[in-house]
Amino acid sequence: MSRALPGAATGSDREIDRRILEVFRSNEGVVSGARLSRLLAISRTAVWKHINTLKSLGYVIEAVPSQGYRLVSVPDLLTSAELSAGLPLQRIGTRITCLQEVDSTNLVAYRLAEQGAVEGTIVIADHQTGGKGRLGRRWESPAGVNLYCSVILRPQILPLYAPQLTFVSSVAVVDAILRTTNLQPVIKWPNDVLVNGQKVAGLLNEMSAETERVDFLVLGIGVNINMNREQFPVDLRHPATSLAIEAGRKIDRLQFARVLLESLDALYAAYLAEGYEPLRRRWLAHSAVMGRTVRVTSGENVVVGVVEGIDEHGGLVLSCAGGRHERVLAGDVAICNEGEACS
Instruction: List residues forming the annotated binding site for biotin.
Output: 104-106, 128, 199
Which of the stretches 3-11, 154-162, 181-189, 242-250 binds a copy of itself when contact is defined by CB under 8 A?
Answer: 154-162
Cis-peptide into 185, omega within 30 deg: no
CB of 274 to a copy of itself, least distance (A): 18
Q: Which of 79, 84, 146, 166 binds a copy of itself (CB under 8 A)?
A: 166
For a copy of itself, the closer CB: 7 or 159: 159
Residue 150 sits in the site that holds a copy of itself (CB under 8 A): no
Q: If you ran DSSP here, which 8-state letter would residue 31 be given? A: B
Alpha helices in the chain (DSSP H): 11-26, 33-40, 44-56, 80-84, 105-114, 164-180, 243-247, 253-274, 276-285
For a copy of itself, the closer CB: 119 or 206: 206
CB 148 within 8 A of CB 265: no
Residue 213 sits in the site that holds a copy of itself (CB under 8 A): yes
- Residue 338 has a CB neighbour count (10 Å cut-off) of 7
* Residues flagged as binding site: 104-106, 128, 199
Which of the stretches 72-80, 208-216, 239-247, 335-343 binds a copy of itself when contact is defined by CB under 8 A?
Answer: 208-216
b/e code 3-29 from CB counts within 10 Å (16+ = b): eebeeeeeeeebebbebbbeebeebee
Closest CA relative to residue 203, chosen from 282, 275, 135: 135
How buried is 37 (Cβ within 10 angstroms: 0-12 exposed, 13-18 middle, 19+ buried)?
middle
First and final C-alpha spacing in the chain: 45
Closest CA relative to residue 144, chosen from 2, 254, 21: 254
Q: Which of 152, 195, 204, 260 binds a copy of itself (CB under 8 A)?
A: 204
For a copy of itself, the closer CB: 62 or 215: 215
Number of residues that bind a copy of itself (CB under 8 A): 26
Residue 300 sits in the site that holds a copy of itself (CB under 8 A): no
For a copy of itself, the closer CB: 142 or 315: 315
CB of 294 to a copy of itself, least distance (A): 16
CB of 207 to a copy of itself, least distance (A): 6
Q: Which of 64, 87, 135, 320 binds a copy of itself (CB under 8 A)?
A: 135
What is the footprint of a copy of itself within residues 49-108 (CB under 8 A)? none
* Cα–Cα distance list, 137 to 132, 180, 228, 236 (Å): 6, 29, 21, 11
CB of 313 to a copy of itself, least distance (A): 6
How many angstroms separate the CA atoms of 138 and 125, rounded? Answer: 16
Which of the stretches 65-73, 162-170, 230-238, 283-291 binds a copy of itself when contact is defined by CB under 8 A?
Answer: 162-170
Which of the stretches 25-33, 34-42, 160-168, 335-343 binds a copy of itself when contact is defined by CB under 8 A?
Answer: 160-168
Closest CA relative to residue 266, chosen from 202, 189, 331, 175: 175
Provide the binding-site residues for a copy of itself, judged by CB under 8 A.
134-135, 158-160, 162-163, 166, 190-191, 204-213, 215, 313-314, 329-331
